[in-house]
Amino acid sequence: MNRYRLLVAALLVLPTLLGVAHAERVKDLASVAGVRSNQLLGYGLVVGLDGSGDQTSQTPFTVQSFVNMLAGLGVTLPPGLNIQLKNVAAVAVSADLPPFAKPGQTIDVTVSSLGNARSLRGGTLLMTPLKGADGQIYGIAQGNVVVGGLGVEGQASRVSINVPSVGRIPGGASVERSVPTPFGDGDALVLNLRSPDFTTAQRLAEAIDGGFGPGVARALDGASIRVLAPRDSSQRVGFVAALEELEVQPGTAPARVIVNSRTGTVVIGQNVRVLPAAVAHGSLTVAIAERPLVSQPNALAGGDTVTVPRTEVQINEDKAPAFVFAPGVSLQEIVNAINKVGASPSDLVAILEALRAVGALRAELIVI
């Protein structure tokens, strides 16, 4: 296959360099269909907090959960008892169950406060079942919560570093049930591209046929490639291991300009082209100031003291040189031309929108 240049996304605040073409591994471009992680969720209690737990007057579910937990342990509280808990917090426990996880293995969990607890630092998560989307229990979480945030407050001020109401428990959940996967089913498997592209899909199928023989792979669409695989599980694992190490040259991405309206970040793809156009961009500033004068007559004039209005108007216009885009200029030339006039990200957005309005910008302008 002929080598070609990969997509280069250029942030205009940095110098733009065009990279040398290179191939990528299949494992970096695609994943096996059905081999994915599953989200788990649970509800539990964190105890042992230093007075930073839920305010039970505003979070009655914390008290209810606490009472239910004690009842399950054989402790019965008198009805109508006013319980004030300061070292207990109701939390949501979430985790990702990796593919092929087996019972007995451990996974990390994230613990997040559900009530108004100020901090989970120093707390211990009590045994919490973790359920999947089907309602089945796939893990049990318990352990000491590690909090990266810190919160300190007084009567008039409060200082918080990061988020102390969220913590992690490394290896805090044990897997109780494995999730079946279709990896070993049938006589074929499907590879799904992480970035759908018809050119990449076709080149990936050709690379697999070149490595394992003709007719092994077939591109189903711009995102999926069907690959014949051995039925024996051990042979299939070795086949996928060899398949993932194949190198493929992905197709070039479409010409796009991405503008982040919140941060002012502008990213321009390498394939962006501009038709002949002349651009002059400047700014006009009008400043109006009211500076009233006081008219004070002398002692013998017999007049009155009055205020005389006076308005000052000042107009400043920046002189920005015009620059011309030649036919089919490259990304580097666009960046160089805009940097010469010292355009800010907001100015750059205005220039790009004007170029698109006149039909000179050969790219898709996306504002996020």
- pLDDT tens for residues 1-41? 332 222 223 333 333 333 445 688 888 999 998 888 999 99
Same domain? For 244 and 273 the reply is no
Q: Is residue 3 part of a domain?
A: no
Structural domain of 228: 23-35+182-248
Do residues 171 and 209 share a domain? Answer: no
Instruction: Say yes or no: 224 and 152 in one domain.
Output: no
Is 265 domain-assigned?
yes
pLDDT mean over 69-85: 82
Helix segments in the chain, DSSP class H: 26-29, 60-72, 198-212, 233-244, 331-340, 345-357
Mean pLDDT lowest among 26-30, 243-247, 356-360? 356-360
Same domain, 240 and 136: no
Distance from C-alpha of 86 to C-alpha of 153, rounded to nearest angstrom: 16
Q: Is the dihedral of CA 327, 332, 335, 340 positive or negative?
A: negative
Give the residue carrying structure tokens 């945030």: 149
In a 10 Å sphere around its CB, with 0-12 CB exposed, 13-18 middle and 19+ buried, how is residue 110 labelled?
A: middle
Classify residue 292: in a domain, yes or no: no
**Are 67 and 188 part of one and the same domain?**
no
Q: Does 144 share its domain with 238?
A: no
Q: How buried is residue 126: exposed, middle or buried, by Cβ count under 10 Å (0-12/13-18/19+)?
A: middle
192 domain residue, yes or no: yes
- Is 356 found in the same domain as 228? no
Together in a domain, 112 and 210? no
Same domain, 52 and 78: yes
- Asked if residue 206 is part of any domain, the answer here is yes
pTM score of the predicted model: 0.67
From the list 236, 195, 8, 299, the residue with the least C-alpha distance to 100 is 236
Over residues 306-324, the mean pLDDT reads: 58
Mean pLDDT for the stretch of residues 71-84: 81
Q: Helices 233-244 and 198-212 sit at what angle, rounded to 10 degrees?
A: 120
Q: Is the pLDDT of residue 174 over 90?
A: yes
> Which of the listed residues 156, 175, 194 is the one where a domain comes to its end?
175
Adjacent-strand bridge partners of 366: 258
User: Could you give the number of structural domains in the chain?
Assistant: 3
Q: Which long-range contacts (CB under 8 A, 24 or more apart) does 65-69 make?
A: 65/90, 69/45, 69/126
CB 170 within 8 A of CB 108: yes
User: Which of 175, 198, 224 is the last residue in one of the domains?
Assistant: 175
User: Which contiguous run of DSSP H or E holds residue 88?
Assistant: strand 88-97
* Domain end call among 199, 228, 248: 248
Q: Do 193 and 105 fall into the same domain? A: no
Contact between residue 355 and residue 349 where contact means Cβ atoms under 8 Å apart: no
Residues 60 and 103 reside in one and the same domain: yes
Same domain (yes/no): 84, 202: no
Q: Supply the pLDDT for residue 340.
A: 66
